[in-house]
């Protein structure tokens, strides 16, 4: 399953060169024919025991990653030692899992050449390592580089997937160790993870700021920060957007022209989008015709999916061309 390369082939290859090679690390999966949702834990234990009998001459190493709201961490478990460490909180669970495998290889490099099998419960990481390409996770190339250097030195290293939380002792220990990690690993954070971390932080600040806006017209219609679909008709989309923010030519042109604000002669109040669409009794009969109610909220009219009869209503009251 693993091809042994000559020392001269890989010993001096840089990561840049490795990224251009159609190369990957295949992995074992003795459980691939068993669906985890319908397979009892004791079946997995029996399968793992049988697998270990076949690979008894390989030294076991278990790895795991953990991510919570407070920390991201990794762990690798050897026969006589357990190593766990925290990563930068911006790191993803994928980075935590792949970092654990890289760290286990680094530890293995400190020992004499032997047969090792590294177990991980992250199928996505193992699949990523088996099919590398130029956009693969940067640590995947570090793993490939270190793996091939170890092979050149006489090591035999296998990767194997194991299911989590089915009672396999080593992976359970790695899981606990990762969650309880206290030491901090001083290492770089992948750019993709850091970008995601920054985006989440900015989004959180945006949400907090938005929630504090008590007088914002749009917030009463859109209380949650989330993307809303645009209408396929650009003119209609522009109309809806202006109504949502409460700014139309009719209700706000006086600010540009230095004039008095338009007044509703029926109600003796300043004209606004809210008053025109929801409150003014002049349009009650038309509201009943189009919305089956004489009083309808702006949220129902201008929400994520605008009311299907809104545009005909705007045209019937003569407001459409004034928006």
pLDDT value for 8: 41
Query: 74 near 84, Cβ under 8 Å?
Result: yes
pLDDT tens-digit series, residues 116-153: 999 999 999 999 999 888 889 999 999 999 999 999 99
What is the second-level CATH architecture of the domain 22-197?
A: 2-Layer Sandwich (3.30)
Rg (CA), the chain: 31
pLDDT tens-digit series, residues 79-106: 999 999 999 989 999 999 999 999 999 9
Of the candidates 194, 83, 208, 102, the residue with the CA atom closest to the CA atom of residue 145: 102
Tell me what percent of the chain is helix, strand and coil, each rounded to the nearest 5.
45, 10, 40
- pTM value? 0.69
What Å distances lie between residue 249 and 143, 253, 273, CA to CA?
61, 5, 11
Q: How many other C-beta atoms lie within 10 A of the C-beta of residue 90? A: 18
DSSP, collapsed to helix, strand or coil, labels residue 42 as: helix
pLDDT value for 17: 44
pLDDT value for 24: 76
132-159 as b/e: b if 16+ CB within 10 A: beeeebebbbbbbbbbbbbbbeebebbb
The mean pLDDT values, 10 residues at a time, for the chain of 323 residues are 43 43 78 84 90 93 94 94 93 95 96 96 95 89 94 95 91 94 81 89 92 87 92 94 94 90 92 94 94 91 94 95 93
DSSP assignment of 93-160, as one string?
HHHHHHHHHHHHHHHHTTS-S-EEEEEES-HHHHHHHHS--TTS-HHHHHHHHHHHHHHHTT-EEEEE
Residues of the chain with CATH 3.30.420.10: 22-197
Residue 306, phi then psi, degrees to nearest 5? -60, 150
Beta strands in 41-103 (DSSP E): 59-67, 72-77, 82-87
């Amino acid at each position: 399953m693993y091809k042994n390369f000559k020392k001269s082939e890989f010993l001096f290859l840089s990561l840049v060169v490795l990224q251009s090679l159609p190369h990957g690390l295949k992995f074992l999966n003795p459980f691939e024919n068993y669906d985890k949702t319908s397979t009892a834990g004791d079946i997995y234990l029996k399968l793992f025991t049988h697998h270990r009998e076949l690979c008894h001459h390989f030294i076991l190493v278990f790895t795991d990653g953990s991510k919570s709201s407070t920390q991201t961490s990794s762990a690798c478990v050897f026969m006589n030692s357990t190593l766990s460490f925290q990563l930068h909180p911006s790191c993803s669970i994928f980075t935590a899992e792949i970092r654990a495998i890289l760290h286990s290889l680094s530890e293995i490099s400190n020992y004499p050449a032997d047969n090792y099998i590294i177990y991980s419960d992250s199928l996505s990481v193992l699949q990523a390592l088996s099919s590398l390409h130029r956009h693969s996770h940067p640590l995947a190339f570090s793993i490939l580089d270190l793996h091939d250097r170890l092979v050149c030195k006489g090591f035999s290293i296998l990767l194997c997937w194991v299911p989590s939380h089915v009672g396999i002792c080593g992976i359970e220990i790695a899981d606990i160790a990762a969650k309880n990690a206290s030491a901090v690993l001083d290492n770089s954070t992948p750019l993709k993870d850091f970008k995601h971390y920054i985006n989440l932080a900015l989004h959180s600040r945006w949400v907090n700021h938005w929630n504090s806006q008590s007088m914002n017209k749009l917030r009463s219609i859109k209380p949650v920060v989330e993307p809303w679909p645009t209408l396929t008709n650009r003119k209609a989309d522009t109309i809806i957007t202006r109504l949502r923010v409460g700014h139309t030519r009719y209700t706000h042109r006086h600010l540009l022209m230095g004039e008095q604000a338009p007044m509703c002669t029926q109600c003796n109040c300043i004209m606004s989008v809210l008053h025109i669409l929801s409150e003014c009794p002049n349009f009650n009969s038309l509201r009943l015709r189009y919305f089956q109610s004489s009083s309808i909220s702006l949220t129902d009219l201008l929400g994520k999916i605008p009311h299907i009869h809104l545009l005909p209503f705007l045209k019937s009251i003569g407001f459409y061309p004034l928006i």
